[in-house]
Chain A
């Protein structure tokens, strides 16, 4: 059986950043495994600009952003294998892979970084009634057709959901000559970034229909129409508000789900809210030596944040492999979602890290839209700090950089939480 120090599963931005930092941390025996033919992850199909503003201080396209990391990986000679899929991970860190050239292989790793990204929520999960005709795509699949295969999914398009991929695709399909009739969103607000609503819908006069949903799909062979209805405060369709929109294509941009089937097999505990592993501030899961970062941990809006998070995961994974530090032994403080906050990551923070003054980022999404609100940091149930925010929306992830000084002279003993206060 092959042995490696740090094994990285997934060659997207998360995996690439983790590999580079593991190398910088002094690890030489690293391996990246990627099931696609090329490194780069989902960025390969995101040919729009808007990446890298934080890290590179310039606006790059997805492939350009990925290329910078790929170049560095190549230059530092980090081994990687593409067209290679991981099909199993055991709790004692034996990974099984399948590929055309090497067949079935098993690799033992001292530490593993989970960087498998996420997948899109399909129609079936929503249970939209109606016909099961052709012409219904998840937005990312449509993006792949347009950007990687040069094919057009359809000509008259309705988008359900206002996630970023859906918004980006509204603009992309308009460029490609299709007519985007509407983006239909269940909630009273968009789940995507504000800049995407402006640049991808408003600029092209594509209506965003908030508090609406698709209540029926019609068509015999190919999609012929969708019925949309307004929804009430409990998100139930209001009878009598039905409207038929004739279209040949429905794109779904209704949420991303971290891809954790492998993590489950390895015994990694998952968080019901984020859909990703429960991790500590060193991005370690409950299984010693298994770390997680990027969209497999929680769905990010910005790739810059993915890279930053993953650099830390790679470093900690390297330290674990080299036997420098094992965070299991340390005292952990539980991090809990307070009112108005969902999906805090990490779920555990070690007292040791706070004492040592290591930076810890708490990331989460607001549960609703709030204006002129405060984010309140609490320690053992007591408010210790307030941060003013002009606008909070579920579409934009929030970060609080923790440092020990925020807690005054009394570090938390049991819990840290964040809540929204109006």
Chain B
């Protein structure tokens, strides 16, 4: 019997798992994919929003602000790269400058610190590559950038270290009442009994909510498409550049990432298929067109990849959090669209408290806030590199030449808690294959190591679990 079953190992589920791991509780996270961060969490803008764009008084506004504040400590404890590079929202017309003022006022109401309204000249001084026609800008220094899957991995590893269990390739099929608690039926045929359930299933949260409650809602999946640009342009912008939502479309941003690349996107289009995250010609073209408005110098070469992710949009456009009144011991974390990444730590803090009090769980006395050390050869100094190779000769063999990832890091990514089981798992943990050659060089090498470490033939190695085998039998 578990105390808590968490459905979904996205940033929300893993943040909650981490907070629950501070309690004396038996917790299991069930995830249908082969790894954490396999849903929306791996495909979004990766911005830690300052919080001026959320509607005052909404849960989004509240948790955006609180979440943003938690980022420094969470990322430090989990050794996850995070940078407060500042967010700049730019306006090109009188009308947009007016709209910017409204955003500023909302920001003040929401409690966003340090905002500044700038004229065009001041904006260009901070960001010389901006479109020179910029008329005004709102700068929010508390905006930041993070790597969403690295953060999620950090939280999951930390939860695991503190005793939380994770089951992958385990899809939750149904929930049934069992006394006060629940029986959770999964695709593996197992029935897991638990005192409570946390619904953190991303775009499928409506499915579970509507299964147990009369207070129904419907998730409208809304896709967002992106381009990534090579490190050559890493210094094009310091801050994240947003455009004021207006007639040219909304929300296409241009931003540096913590990994030194640039991200452009997203679009916004409602879709029906929650399994389909294909990019489209129209979407990708639109991103470039709108992004050029911020950055006329946008290069036509140097793209490294494209991707897209699904927002869990609700008509009411706010998060749905906490225990459902007509389904005791069922807790929602639903409708978590942007700023969900930013909000996740704060949502987790409150939800874990609610669960603790409801179930009467005690605090654990040996909680550790970190995770096993992560080695990043590319960030080491000469001396550290020398030292590392002396300690473990596998640091002396570079497997991914673009991102400078060593064999030691690849092996560690497979051996560590909740280690990688697929090529994408290795990629998200180490960055091997994420550089400009997009794994042309390292793929066979990574597969050899996976095959050796997992004791599986090469033909069984997958890109991301399931039927995604790389080679033919």
Q: Do A and B bind each other?
A: yes
> Which residues in A have some Cβ–Cβ distance to B below 8 Å?
35, 83, 85, 87, 96, 98-104, 119-120, 122-125, 127, 129-135, 137-138, 140-141, 144-145, 148-149, 151-155, 178, 215-218, 220-222, 237, 248-249, 261
Chain A residues with CB under 8 A of B284: 127, 129
A122 — nearest CB in chain B belongs to which residue?
A: B438
Contact of A103 among B389, B458, B467 (CB under 8 A): B389
A137 to B463, CA, bound (A): 12
Say whether B330 faces chain A, with CB atoms less than 8 Å apart: no
Task: Verify B397–A124 contact, CB threshold 8 A.
Answer: no
Say whether B270 faces chain A, with CB atoms less than 8 Å apart: no
Task: Verify A133–B440 contact, CB threshold 8 A.
Answer: no
Binary A-proximity of B287-308 (CB < 8 A = 1, otherwise 0)? 0000000000000010111110
Q: Of residues B385, B459, B468, which shows the largest number of chain A Cβ atoms within 10 Å of its Cβ? A: B468
Task: Verify B389–A98 contact, CB threshold 8 A.
Answer: yes
Task: Verify A127–B401 contact, CB threshold 8 A.
Answer: no
Contact of A134 among B406, B440, B469 (CB under 8 A): B469
Binary A-proximity of B23-46 (CB < 8 A = 1, otherwise 0)? 000000000000000000000000
A84 — nearest CB in chain B belongs to which residue?
A: B396
A141 to chain B, nearest CB (A): 5
Chain B residues with CB under 8 A of A178: 472
Given A134-B462, A145-B471, 19 new contacts (CB under 8 A): A96-B382, A98-B397, A99-B396, A99-B397, A101-B393, A103-B393, A104-B382, A119-B441, A124-B304, A131-B277, A132-B307, A134-B463, A134-B464, A135-B470, A145-B444, A149-B458, A152-B471, A155-B472, A178-B472
Say whether B75 faces chain A, with CB atoms less than 8 Å apart: no
A220 to B463, CA, bound (A): 12
B208 to chain A, nearest CB (A): 23
Task: Verify B396–A100 contact, CB threshold 8 A.
Answer: yes
Chain B residues with CB under 8 A of A153: 470-472
Task: Verify A134–B303 contact, CB threshold 8 A.
Answer: no
A153 to B281, CA, bound (A): 27
Task: Verify B443–A124 contact, CB threshold 8 A.
Answer: no
Binary A-proximity of B434-473 (CB < 8 A = 1, otherwise 0)? 0011111101100010000000001100111011111110
A151 to B473, CA, bound (A): 8
- Which B86-144 residues have a C-beta within 8 angstroms of A? none
Task: Verify A129–B397 contact, CB threshold 8 A.
Answer: no
A108 to chain B, nearest CB (A): 15
Say whether B394 faces chain A, with CB atoms less than 8 Å apart: yes
Chain B residues with CB under 8 A of A248: 472
- Can you report 7 residue pairs joining A to B where beta carbons are below 8 Å apart? A85-B397, A104-B385, A122-B440, A124-B228, A132-B307, A149-B458, A222-B467
Task: Verify B437–A35 contact, CB threshold 8 A.
Answer: no
Chain B residues with CB under 8 A of A35: 398, 401
B44 to chain A, nearest CB (A): 15
A136 to B304, CA, bound (A): 15
Say whether B275 faces chain A, with CB atoms less than 8 Å apart: yes
Q: A215 with B466: in contact, given A119-B440, A124-B304 (CB under 8 Å)?
A: no
Say whether B74 faces chain A, with CB atoms less than 8 Å apart: no
- Which B387-438 residues have a C-beta within 8 angstroms of A? 389-390, 393-394, 396-398, 401-402, 404, 406, 436-438
Contact of A98 among B385, B436, B467, B468 (CB under 8 A): B385
Q: A154 with B404: in contact, given A122-B440, A141-B444 (CB under 8 Å)?
A: no
Q: Of residues B404, B437, B462, B466, which shows the largest number of chain A Cβ atoms within 10 Å of its Cβ? A: B437
A97 to chain B, nearest CB (A): 10
B398 — nearest CB in chain A belongs to which residue?
A: A85
A217 to B440, CA, bound (A): 18
Task: Verify A127–B443 contact, CB threshold 8 A.
Answer: no
Q: Of residues A85, A134, A178, which shows the largest number of chain B Cβ atoms within 10 Å of its Cβ? A: A134
Task: Verify B306–A124 contact, CB threshold 8 A.
Answer: yes
Say whether B227 faces chain A, with CB atoms less than 8 Å apart: yes
Chain A residues with CB under 8 A of B394: 100
Chain B residues with CB under 8 A of A124: 228, 303-306, 438
Task: Verify B469–A119 contact, CB threshold 8 A.
Answer: no
A127 to B303, CA, bound (A): 8
A273 to chain B, nearest CB (A): 12
Chain B residues with CB under 8 A of A133: 463, 468
Say whether B283 faces chain A, with CB atoms less than 8 Å apart: yes
Chain B residues with CB under 8 A of A237: 281
Chain A residues with CB under 8 A of B363: none
A297 to B470, CA, bound (A): 33
Task: Verify A149–B444 contact, CB threshold 8 A.
Answer: yes
Chain A residues with CB under 8 A of B306: 124, 127, 129
A98 — nearest CB in chain B belongs to which residue?
A: B396
B12 to chain A, nearest CB (A): 23
Chain B residues with CB under 8 A of A138: 440
Task: Verify B470–A134 contact, CB threshold 8 A.
Answer: yes
A149 — nearest CB in chain B belongs to which residue?
A: B444
Task: Verify A101–B398 contact, CB threshold 8 A.
Answer: no
Task: Verify B281–A215 contact, CB threshold 8 A.
Answer: yes
A256 to B125, CA, bound (A): 38
B91 to chain A, nearest CB (A): 29
Task: Verify B389–A104 contact, CB threshold 8 A.
Answer: yes
Contact of A85 among B305, B386, B401 (CB under 8 A): B401
Task: Verify A101–B396 contact, CB threshold 8 A.
Answer: yes
A141 to B280, CA, bound (A): 26
A141 to B470, CA, bound (A): 12
A51 to B305, CA, bound (A): 34
Say whether B279 faces chain A, with CB atoms less than 8 Å apart: yes
Task: Verify B382–A122 contact, CB threshold 8 A.
Answer: no
A116 — nearest CB in chain B belongs to which residue?
A: B401
Task: Verify A103–B437 contact, CB threshold 8 A.
Answer: no
Chain A residues with CB under 8 A of B276: 131
- Which B211-244 residues have a C-beta within 8 angstroms of A? 227-228
Chain A residues with CB under 8 A of B303: 124-125, 127
Chain B residues with CB under 8 A of A140: 440
Task: Verify A83–B397 contact, CB threshold 8 A.
Answer: yes
B438 — nearest CB in chain A belongs to which residue?
A: A122
Say whether B278 faces chain A, with CB atoms less than 8 Å apart: yes
A151 to B439, CA, bound (A): 17
- Which B349-378 residues have a C-beta within 8 angstroms of A? none
Task: Verify A87–B398 contact, CB threshold 8 A.
Answer: yes
A85 to B406, CA, bound (A): 11
Task: Verify B304–A134 contact, CB threshold 8 A.
Answer: no
A220 to B469, CA, bound (A): 12
A99 to B389, CA, bound (A): 8
Task: Verify A221–B440 contact, CB threshold 8 A.
Answer: no
A124 to B229, CA, bound (A): 10
A134 to B443, CA, bound (A): 12
Task: Verify B304–A130 contact, CB threshold 8 A.
Answer: no
B282 — nearest CB in chain A belongs to which residue?
A: A129
Q: Of residues A129, A137, A141, A153, which shows the largest number of chain B Cβ atoms within 10 Å of its Cβ? A: A129
Q: Of residues A120, A123, A125, A153, which shows the largest number of chain B Cβ atoms within 10 Å of its Cβ? A: A125
Task: Verify A221–B467 contact, CB threshold 8 A.
Answer: yes
Chain B residues with CB under 8 A of A137: 443
B407 to chain A, nearest CB (A): 8
Task: Verify A129–B281 contact, CB threshold 8 A.
Answer: yes
A141 to B439, CA, bound (A): 9
B223 to chain A, nearest CB (A): 12
Chain B residues with CB under 8 A of A98: 385, 389, 396-398, 406
A100 to chain B, nearest CB (A): 4
Task: Verify A120–B440 contact, CB threshold 8 A.
Answer: yes
B441 — nearest CB in chain A belongs to which residue?
A: A119
Contact of A220 among B275, B439, B472 (CB under 8 A): B275
A218 to B467, CA, bound (A): 14
A14 to B382, CA, bound (A): 29
Contact of B437 among A100, A122, A222 (CB under 8 A): A122
